[in-house]
Structure 1
Amino acid sequence: MASNISRALNLRHLRAFIEVAHTGNFTRAADKLAISQPALTSTIHQLEALIDVELFQRTTRKVTLSPDGEEFLPTAERLIDDFEQAILAVHANAKRRKGLVGIAVLPSIAIRLLPRVLENFRQSHPSIRVNLRDDNARGVQRQVLRNEVDFGISNLWEDRPELEYTPLFRDPVGAVLLADHPLAQETSPLPWSKLKGYSFAAMSHDTGVNALLNTTEGLPESVYSPDFEVLTLVALTGIIEAGLAVTALPKLAMPRFSEPGLIFKELTDPFVERQVFIITRKNEPLSKSAQIVLELLSAALAEPEQLLAKPIQN
């Protein structure tokens, strides 16, 4: 009996059930699934008939989960998620066999460091293609966890037991200011206390920079409760260039495209730095192509200051 039911059930039934459960409305669920409402209603009826359980309690005004439906929902969501993860894994493995290596990486590293490394790599390994997917720290870790890339390059967002973090380099945090800002005229490194009294602009809460600063003690209150919080480095740069605030960033995240120019001033008392890691899935060997790329990147990025001084090869 159970085997007959499992053969009759399919992903269409599960997706329909989950969407109705989430929206509480057949019309909205049908729109999200891009099917007609009668087709959706028929699919739910089929599912309930197959398992001989009423999953929803229906009234003329709303649809809610029955007790059995509430119990079934987490299982249905897990089955869909497991299926999607399996498809992603198959797709990723197929790409690796074709010599395509996916890397999730912080934008500052993708912009400032990797072009120089990958230009040389492309000349020495023309058969291996590298796909860079820039994201914030949380996004990099998520991509590695979901098997969407071979490995990631990021600071630590969250210590997950499924992942392995190999230290790569450290990146000091400093103040980013307009070149004519009063603090820019200081000849020695700035203590954090010097930022008191100035409006502060911060990156959003789901970035590694924000997490780093908010877990560091002894900073000015304006850092923990900024006047501005933005999603992108471009928006942050605009605020600083307009003279509305100051900010603090890792050195590699320092904007290079500013007009008028911005400067980076080392911050001390306390000294703050982000540690950048190579992030891989634990107990899962990399493909030969990914291993080649990883070894080259690890060697080249171990001393980022030297790499920044080198021009991109043409």
Structure 2
Amino acid sequence: MTISIDDLRAFREIARTRSFSLAADKLLVTSPAITRRIKKMEELIGEPLFERTTHMVRLSPAGEELFPRAEQLLREFDAFETVAMTMSGNRSTTIRFASVTSVAGSVLSQMLADFHDRFPACRFDLQDGHGTIVHRLVEEQVVEFGIGTRPAPGSNLNFDHLIDDPIVAAVPRSDPLFAAQALDWTEVAQHDFMILKGESSFFGHVELELRHAGKPMPPGIRVRDVSTLLGFVEQGASPIIVTGLIASRCRGPGVKAIAIADPVLYNALGIVTYPNRQLSTAAADLVAHIREALPRLHNDILDRIQTG
């Protein structure tokens, strides 16, 4: 048997009204019910909380000592309840999530802006990086969910597939391949292309798929950072192999995205979650928003880079 919030409310209202019946009316309970609450508290404390006569109810010495503490606890609880109910109504909370760089640097800002229009009190704590970083952050439960690549076979993470981002060539105007309307991997292998390597799973994915198709990997510089790739192609120094979302970040008319066929390769992206983890209401709403918005914005980007 323990003291509950309802017991404290009964104690406070009797002390304020100096009446069991008035306190019961204010709390919308019966007089016997409010009497039972005080009796339970007195049994637990071992002291009477009120001195009662036929004409008067007043705090006992033990009640006088406990009343300010009860008021403080109830003020704090009421404040907590108010904040909690506000969160429920307007998502006034911080959502911690992770995203692969390709999404974070292209369409994520639009998705978050649209979501923020609906829930202006919501805040975001974003950690971006390559796919394996997103998987680790979700697995260690540093974040509630991730926008990332498909986890490796044997992973215990959940994956809700949303889009297939095509792997393309981004070619500067100064390169002979700029005039091409389409390429295949045999042609690509005859030229130097920069490509992500390092801890990113991108290189391994492309290499494995080409090996299965009996195609060689293109030669060229392997780098660890997307910004390095973009810098090289924008300065006309090298064509690069990237996904469509990353290609969309190339600035100006001096870079062209060209589809690569035979085989057509994709980077599968979706929502990554930890098994049986209950998302906060705000995070669940953001995930639902991403499920709707990411495929639509991705299609818009592909249309733009294919016609640009």
TM-score class, shorter:
0.5 to 0.7
Partner of 2:128: 134
Percent pairwise identity: 23
For residues 143 and 280 of structure 1, the distance between their equivalents in structure 2, rounded to whole angstroms, comes to 10
Instruction: Provide the rounded CA distance (Å) in 1 between the counterparts of 2:121 and 2:235.
Output: 46
8 Å CA contact retained: 2:128, 2:134: yes
Question: Shift of the alpha carbon at 1:281?
Answer: 0.4
Q: 1:203 aligns with which of 186, 196, 208?
A: 196
Equivalent in 159, 164, 173 of residue 170 of structure 1: 164
Shift in Å, 1:258 = 4.0
* 1:164 aligned partner, one-letter code: N
How has the CA–CA distance of structure 1 residues 237 and 286 changed in structure 2, closer, same or farther, with 3 Å as cutoff? Answer: same
Write the distance in 1 (CA, Å) between the matches of 2:288 and 2:253: 39
Counterpart CA distance in 1 for 2:259 and 2:245 is 13
Matched, 1:149 2:148: no
Q: Cα distance 1:291–1:160, how it changes in 2: closer, same or farther (>3 A)?
A: farther
The letter for the 2-side match of 1:215 is: L
Q: Deviations over 1:129-148 (max 9, x none)?
A: 12221110110000001111
Matches within 5 A, 1:211-230: 211-217=204-210, 218=213, 220-223=215-218, 226-230=219-223
- CA distance in structure 1 between the aligned counterparts of 2:302 and 2:236, rounded to whole angstroms: 29
Q: Which residue of 1 aligns with 2:291?
A: 298
In structure 2, what is the equivalent of residue 284 of structure 1?
A: 277
Paired residue type of 1:131: D
Partner of 1:248: 241
Report the CA distance shift for 1:219/1:180 in structure 2 as closer, same or farther (over 3 A). farther
Structure 1 residues 209 and 161: CA distance shift in structure 2, 3 A:
closer
Give, in angstroms, the shift of residue 268 of structure 1.
Answer: 0.4
Q: 1:148 to 1:160 in 2, by over 3 A?
A: farther
Q: Which runs of 5+ in 1 are unaligned?
A: 1-94
Superposition TM-score, scaled by structure 1 size: 0.62
The residue number in structure 1 matching 2:177 is 183
Determine the structure 2 residue equivalent to 1:231: 224
> Counterparts of 1:38-53 in structure 2 under 5 Å?
none
2:169·2:240 contact (CA, 8 Å) conserved in 1?
yes
SS in 2 for 1:293: helix
1:120 offset after TM fit, Å?
1.5
The structural deviation recorded for 1:275 is: 0.8
Q: How far apart are 1:253 and its partner, in Å?
A: 1.0
Partner of 2:115: 121
Identify if the C-alpha distance between structure 1 residues 184 and 219 changes in structure 2 by more than 3 Å, giving closer, same or farther.
farther
Alpha-carbon contact 2:207-2:217 (below 8 Å) kept: no
Taking a change above 3 Å as real, the CA distance of residues 246 and 119 of structure 1, as seen in their structure-2 partners, is same
Larger Rg: 2
Secondary structure in structure 2 of the residue aligned to 1:282? coil
Relative to structure 1, the CA distance from residue 255 to residue 297 in structure 2 (aligned partners, 3 Å threshold; closer, same or farther) is closer
Secondary structure of the structure 2 residue equivalent to 1:133 = strand
2:50: which partner in 1? none
* Matched residue count: 213
Q: Secondary structure at the match of 2:105?
A: helix
* Mapped contact 1:199–1:227 kept (Cα < 8 A): yes
Structure 2 counterpart SS, 1:216 = helix
Q: Is the 8 A contact 2:234 2:251 kept in 1?
A: yes
- SS of equivalent residue, structure 2 residue 177: helix
C-alpha displacement of 1:238: 3.2
The yes-or-no answer on 1:110 pairing with 2:104 is yes
TM-score under structure 2 normalisation?
Answer: 0.63
Matched-pair contact (CA < 8 Å) for 1:205–1:211: no
- The alignment yields a C-alpha RMSD, in angstroms, of 2.6
Answer whether contact 1:157 1:208 (CA < 8 A) is retained: no
| Separation in structure 1 between the aligned mates of residue 139 and residue 238 of structure 2, nearest angstrom | 36
Q: Is the 8 A contact 2:98 2:143 kept in 1?
A: yes
Native 8 Å contact 1:165 1:277 kept in 2: yes
